[in-house]
């Protein structure tokens, strides 16, 4: 089931540079790469750091410095850690892979455009 869900993002990463390159030319393809690289680099950095921050917040609560185990703030930090782990371990690296794959697709397409 998970591999079937990856078909659409995979096609998107391959189809968008091809369509932009052939419809609008190499300059537009370059601008697509600049925008996608800048936004995905910042987004990947944000996802990784946010996930690590939420994980460390839970660890701080478990030391007893910010509240005892079972308190409302500790329960909130556990929920934050539950959200933060997928951000740090899945979403951040996958955005960076998207950035690399988009650039590689454009590089392979470039000889056909020039």
pLDDT digits (tens, 9 = 90+) for 76-109: 989 999 999 998 888 888 898 899 999 999 999 9
Quote the CA–CA distance of 28 and 21 in Å, as a whole number.
Answer: 7
Query: 1-50: per-residue pLDDT in tens?
Result: 878 888 998 899 999 999 999 999 999 999 999 999 999 989 999 999 99
Q: In the predicted model, is pLDDT for residue 72 greater than 90?
A: no
Q: In the predicted model, is pLDDT for residue 68 greater than 80?
A: no
Q: Return the closest-CA partner of residue 99 out of 31, 26, 27, 37.
A: 37
How high is the pLDDT of residue 110?
A: 87
Q: In the predicted model, is pLDDT for residue 67 greater than 90?
A: no
Reported pTM: 0.76
Kindly list the domain boundaries of the chain, sorted by start residue: 9-113
Q: In the predicted model, is pLDDT for residue 113 greater than 90?
A: no
Q: In the predicted model, is pLDDT for residue 73 greater than 90?
A: no
Is-contact 47 91, C-beta < 8 A? yes
Tell me, rounded to whole angstroms, the distance of Cα 36 from its chain centroid. Answer: 11
How high is the pLDDT of residue 34?
A: 94
């Amino acid at each position: 089931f998970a591999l079937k869900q990856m078909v659409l993002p995979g096609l998107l990463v391959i189809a968008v540079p091809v369509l932009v390159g052939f419809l609008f030319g190499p300059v537009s393809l370059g601008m697509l790469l600049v925008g996608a690289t800048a936004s995905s680099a910042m987004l990947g950095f944000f996802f990784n750091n946010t996930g690590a921050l939420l994980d460390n917040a839970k660890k701080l609560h478990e030391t007893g410095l910010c509240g005892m185990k079972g308190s409302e703030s500790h329960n909130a930090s556990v929920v934050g850690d539950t959200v933060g782990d997928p951000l740090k371990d899945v979403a951040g690296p996958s955005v960076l892979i998207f950035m690399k794959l988009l650039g590689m697709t454009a590089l392979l397409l470039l000889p056909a455009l020039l």
